[in-house]
Structure 1
Amino acid sequence: MATAKAQTSSYKFKRNITGVNTIWHKMVLPDDLYKKANAGFDDFRIFGVNGKDTIEVPYLLKQRADQVTSHDVAFEQLNQSSHHGGYYYTFQSTEINVINQINLTFKQQNFDWKVNLEGSNDNKSWFNILSDYRILSIKNNDTDYQFTKLSFPDSKYQYFRIAVKSPVQPDLLEAKISKTDTIKGTYQDVKYQSFNLKNNVSLKETIIDVVLTNPVPLSYLKLNAQSDFDFYRALKIEYATDSFKTDKGIQYNFANLYEGTISSLEKPEFNFENTISSRLKITIQNNDNKPLRLNGLVLKGNVYEIIVRFDDPKGEYALYYGNEKAAAPVYEIEKFESKIPASLSSVNIGPELKNPAYTIKTEKPLFENKAWLWVLMAVIIALLGWFSFKMLRN
């Protein structure tokens, strides 16, 4: 047990792991663990004890976020025509491909148009995919906003035709046609403790402070925003990195998490990098417009999961953390991730315990002992007496 104490003595906390019955397992980190762990989880260690032997167990820390892949599909523009206020653009592929997105780029910077999208396999019979789909571009001193991406269910045709309803001829510079696939990650709902909204008239902005009970992973925010008219506002999401005391109370330092636009044309849903925090600040720039009606929000975060290789399933294991000086471990299993079984059973992480083996080495002050102080005083008095005697003799 002396070896075990030596290896774990620098970690403040431990959580027992139960349910180990095979080599490979997975376990989900509990929410109340994040406030004590280091940023980046560099201090995570799993140690096992079997008899007199203590082993460090290799693991992989996985963040179950969405995996998005997108690849462009080659299409050639066949022709461009107009008819009764509609401008038509036809595209052909050498093969019949599945697509679900078309990104349009126009030379015009300010427009508000409706678009129809159709598909065909013979360039004669056309089938409707999108109707009266709104695209918009606004650029001025206050706003630079574009929404020109056509999103639709998977469609498999050799020909696609875009009809733009516009009073003037659009100058289409590019149509980027692609297929985007998303493998959904694992999310958990996050409840917030308080939701405080303030409309600052002088700064022409709405500020929302969101306080959580504990620091947890956050990667998704949905605002319940309403207005009687169409809107598009600059939006910024920040998270608290630390706090400090002032005469006015506790203040917070914030870092940027997301910058974009909240618009009536798009779902008010925002995805960002999974970040651990207990406080958010959301700023909506209203300019000279009436503030939006905001009545709550939805928060989610990606689950952190540990994949562990227990070489000896019969041992007793625990997760250790709480070491500010620990560096991230390097394990070989990271290079052989493809050989890890796809289906893993879960083990349990117990409640947080203080590590009984934790020891703090403190350097005692040199003059903590009173004897040293008396010796120092005697030396100082002797030196002062010698200098005084020397001065009097001169």
Structure 2
Amino acid sequence: MMLKLKINLFTFLLLCTTIANAQTNTYKFKRNISGVNSVWHKMVLPDDLYKKANAGFEDLRIFGINGKDTIEVPYLLKQRVDKVSSNDITFKQINQSVNQNGYYYTFQSPEISLINQIKLAFKQENFDWEVTLEGSNDNKEWFNILSNYRILSIKNNDTDYQFTRLNFPDAKYQYFRLLVKSPIQPELLEAKILKTDTIPGTFKVVKYQSFDLKNDASKKETVVDVTLTNQVPLSYLKLNAQSDFDFYRPIKIEYATDSFKTDKGIQYNYANLYEGTISSLVEAAFNFENTITSRLKITIQNNDNMPLRLSGLQLKGNIYEIIARFDQPKNEYALYYGNEKAISPVYEIEKFESKIPVNLTTVTIGAEAKNPAYSIETAKPLFENKPWLWALMVVIIALLGWFSFKMLKN
């Protein structure tokens, strides 16, 4: 009786393990999740996960195991990027005048408004002017907001560059007066007045392993190859660029998508990450879509100018965060990944995101381990399958016999 009970218990445990493994055996890697003590939690993806998970994270799964039950945990994957919102503020131009200082444009709002940005558009295509911006609530006493702020537009066969946006701290006035210091009359086409708000995302500083700079005189360009320590998300790059004179040059930032071996060593295929202008007028900082990579190539077109002095860079990336609902907090949970054929899961919590609590406690994702339940079923070729070979031989012999009988009968 005792022996039969032990056998039944062993069979039950084996069956539970088989059922649990059935949902997890297609994932190569797992990481235990510790600290689950309530229904809702958040967790940050570790840096060394990105090189093993699928590029689009289709293979991320969270499973909880409790005896014979395997529970899939619904989650949302979030990028903690900056959220920028801009609102147009109603203003009308009420005055335009000129004196020895330059050309004045006055704008009025129906009410006292808070703004922090003005976008200007001029008919002229080539200019280099300084502007001053003032604010007033009675159109008599004026207070300075910006002084000697430089705006620039250059358009020729090599360059098409404009910097005509005024950025300043929040200013709350009913009247704004713009002074353009120009030797000729500016033809102002539009002045778009805005209030821009930014909710900062969560960034993580990214370290790089090497910074290889080459100035190619024949191509009149500077190329910087940057190798990162790990394959991680990137969304911000700031170059330490210096020159003895003002500059504005085309810049292209690319990231490596894959690599291949040649007689000259390992070569890389690149895709565009950012194209624009690096200028002495503004900080050489560039924002782009969060992209996972381990290598960058920066190309600056010098034309006939001396190369810039580049002395390193700063890199940041927005973190990826999982918000998960653990319906049974007492279970043991793990994060699984490493399945090239997986498709993105569809969870209902995506439709009810507004009901997720705001303040969530963080749980820890452990070190990577090989999933012991991982298995790949490989179909054997027919010529290695004996039953199929015997069946094929029988069919061939039957056909030969039938054709032989037909020939002898004739």
Do they superpose with TM above 0.5? Answer: yes
CA distance in 2, matches of 1:105, 1:175: 7
1:101-250 correspondence to structure 2 within 5 Å: 101-250=117-266
Deviation at 1:239, TM superposition (A): 0.5
Please list the CA deviations of residues 55-80 of structure 1 after superposition, one character each: whole Å capped at 9, or x if unmatched: 10000001000000001101000011
Partner of 2:40: 24
Determine what percentage of the aligned residue pairs are the same residue.
Answer: 76
CA distance in 2, matches of 1:162, 1:369: 85
1:84 aligns with 2:100: yes
1:1-394 correspondence to structure 2 within 5 Å: 1-368=17-384
TM-score, normalised with respect to structure 1: 0.94
CA distance in 2, matches of 1:99, 1:40: 39
CA distance in 1, matches of 2:381, 2:227: 42
Q: What is the letter of the counterpart of residue 317 of structure 2?
A: G
CA distance in 2, matches of 1:362, 1:214: 33
Query: Contact 1:85–1:167 at 8 Å: present in 2 too?
Result: no
CA distance in 1, matches of 2:159, 2:59: 45
Deviation at 1:370, TM superposition (A): 9.3
* Compared CA separation, residues 91 and 284, structure 1 to 2 (3 A): same
Please list the CA deviations of residues 318-339 of structure 1 after superposition, one character each: whole Å capped at 9, or x if unmatched: 0000011111000000111111
* Gaps in structure 2 of 5+ consecutive residues: 1-16
TM-score, normalised with respect to structure 2: 0.90
Please list the CA deviations of residues 202-255 of structure 1 after superposition, one character each: whole Å capped at 9, or x if unmatched: 111111100112210000000000000000010010001111111211111111
* Gaps in structure 1 of 5+ consecutive residues: none
1:41 alignment partner, SS class: coil
Deviation at 1:347, TM superposition (A): 0.5
Deviation at 1:316, TM superposition (A): 0.3
Q: What is the letter of the counterpart of residue 240 of structure 2?
A: N
**Equivalent residues, number:** 382
Please list the CA deviations of residues 330-358 of structure 1 after superposition, one character each: whole Å capped at 9, or x if unmatched: 00001111111110001110111111111
Question: After the TM superposition, which segments of 4 or more aligned residues of structure 1 sit over 3 Å from their partners?
Answer: 368-373
Q: What is the letter of the counterpart of residue 206 of structure 2?
A: V
CA distance in 1, matches of 2:198, 2:327: 35
